[in-house]
Structure 1
Amino acid sequence: MQSTEFWSIVGKCREDAELLVDFNTNLVLELDALPVEEIASFRLAWLAASDGLYSWDVWDASALMLNGTDDDSFMDFRSWAISLGRPDYDSIRADADNLAEYGRIVADAESAEAEELSGIPERLYLARAGVSPPDPPDQSVLTKPFGKRTDLHDTEAVMARFPRIHAWRSRAVR
């Protein structure tokens, strides 16, 4: 599946979705209408998009916004970011400090709906094909984040790397 087709499906699911649960419902409906091979292709595109956010920069920013993230919650966070659509995904990927713009809704990244997101294509494929979907070719899914970590206990380092998130956190504490 081409990137444009993948993002078109995500965008269509986002259009009428006020809440993440609505996005999930729309995604199930959209994927269920596809041939099983396209569901597998969509899943591979989802994994690739998730890998695009698998950096220490984005992980550290999400940890600041959510008061900590572990492996599982960071996977859920990346799924949530994908569900926002291509412009928002690209904004976060380009500069993790852009997450400050999502302060009102970032808590959705910790919801059960966010946790469910990445599994939707796999479950639909399994239900239709009777077997697990194929893995990415040559196991191309990243196993560790790329880039450099920010010491989140160093206020000066956080202020230097994530000034807008730091400002958002300062306002949110009040």
Structure 2
Amino acid sequence: MTPNEFWAVIAHARQRATPNSEPSMLDALYRELVKLPNQELYAWYGLQDSYMDLADTPKLFAAAVLINGGSSDDRFTDFTAWLVVQGKTVYESALANPDSLAQIDLPFDNAEWEFCGYIAGDAYEGKQYLDQLRPEKPAGRALRSRYPQRADLETQVERICMDTALHRPFRPTAAAVNLDDHILQIEILQRIRQTGPIRDFWSALPESGERQALRRRLAANLNRDTRKTAATLQRTLPQLWQKRTAWEEARSAEHPHRGPER
């Protein structure tokens, strides 16, 4: 997988996802990634992990502090996951000039998208569930013989496989207005749970030496501002500071009894 192919997956997902919604972006990324062969999925994650690592610069850490009202090692990792899924243009602009993030619609206090950092592993898990429920597999064959008239069966299978892979609690859909619908969804879930042990995504990733070589190759084509920050955040990232300040003032005006959260 090339870097352009990696960014194309994110671009396609962003076209489907609701802006500034991690759950929506997770759904959209999952639907793109389950289409990939396993080797391509490993490669996609390798690029995601590398781009997140390359975003570890002093000024981007300062940007994370301003955008999220604070940061830490773990929180910053989650911020870089958010940054990568904003797409190629935003990502590359932010690496070259972190203050450029002031030009986009920012989800202040909510730009730490931890679960987007795990999405490749979740899609890998979902692929295994879907495989076990294919028509030619015993579980899939039994399911279809039990519900031969259900036109929505494939849609229900895909949805419940996705929710299970994304570790979401099972809830019947709004369409489950009768007992038969509810029973169908529970049976799909039970068959997923009975598939037995699944292969571990993380243990199949390339060795650390290969990942480091990938990061060096990517870094050679990126303009990264790795300089130290100024004495204050206001001087380091003036546009982002101004945007954060305006957001806090607007929020205080809406909730006059709530103080600033910086």
TM-score, normalized by the shorter chain, greater than 0.5: yes
Aligned match of 1:133 in 201, 204, 207? 204
- CA distance 1:158–1:108, shift in 2 (3 Å): closer
- 1:5 aligned partner, one-letter code: E
Query: Match for residue 71 of structure 2?
Result: 69
The Cα shift of 1:125 comes to: 3.2
Aligned-pair distance for 1:169? 2.9
| Structure 2 CA distance for aligned equivalents of residues 102 and 173 of structure 1 | 17
Aligned twin of 1:6: 6
Q: Structure 2 counterpart of 1:150, which letter?
A: T
Please state if 1:115 is matched with 2:114: yes
Distance (Å, rounded) in 2 between the aligned partners of 1:13 and 1:65: 23
Instruction: Return 5+ residue gaps in structure 1 as ranges.
Output: none
- Could you say which residue in structure 2 is the equivalent of 1:162? 237
Deviation at 1:126, TM superposition (A): 5.4
CA contact (8 A) 1:91 1:98 kept: yes
TM-superposed CA distance for 1:77, in Å, is 0.8
Distance 1:162 1:21, change over 3 A: same
Distance in 2 of aligned mates of 1:103 and 1:66: 14
Q: Is the 8 A contact 2:59 2:98 kept in 1?
A: yes
Q: Which residue is equivalent to 1:29?
A: 31
Q: CA deviation at 1:173?
A: 3.3
RMSD after superposition: 2.4
CA 1:16–1:126: 2 relative to 1, 3 Å: closer
Give the gaps of 5 or more residues in structure 2: 129-197, 216-224, 250-262
Paired residue type of 1:117: C
Shift of 1:31: 1.0
Q: CA deviation at 1:58?
A: 0.5
- Contact 2:22–2:116 (Cα < 8 Å) also in 1: no
**How far apart, CA to CA, are the structure 2 residues paired with 1:44 and 1:117?**
14
- SS of residue in 1 equivalent to 2:36: coil
Residue 136 of structure 1 deviates from its aligned partner by: 5.0
| Partner residue in 2 for 1:55 | 57
Q: What's the offset of the Cα at 1:20? A: 2.5
Q: Taking structure 2 as the reference length, what is the TM-score of the superposition?
A: 0.56
**Misfit runs of 4+, over 3 Å:** 123-129, 146-149
Written as runs of structure 1 = structure 2, the 5 A alignment for 1:82-101 is 82-101=84-103
1:137 is displaced (CA, Å) by 4.3
Per chain length, whose mean CA-contact separation is higher, i.e. which structure has more relative contact order (CA < 8 Å, sep 6+)? 1
* 1:150 alignment partner in structure 2: 229
State the TM-score, normalizing by the size of structure 1: 0.82
CA-CA distance at 1:84 after TM superposition: 1.1
Describe the superposition over 1:111-160 as per-residue Cα deviations: whole angstroms up to 9, x where unpaired: xxx11111111233356471323145405298xxx934426xx4xx4333
Structure-to-structure mapping, 1:11-22, within 5 angstroms? 11-18=11-18, 19-22=21-24
Q: Is the 8 A contact 2:90 2:101 kept in 1?
A: no
- The letter of the residue matching 1:55 is T
Deviation digits for residues 42-80 of structure 1 (CA, Å, limit 9, x no counterpart): 100101111221111101111122121111111111111
1: CA distance, partners of 2:248 / 2:31? 40
Cα shift at 1:23: 1.5
* SS, match of residue 229 in structure 2: coil
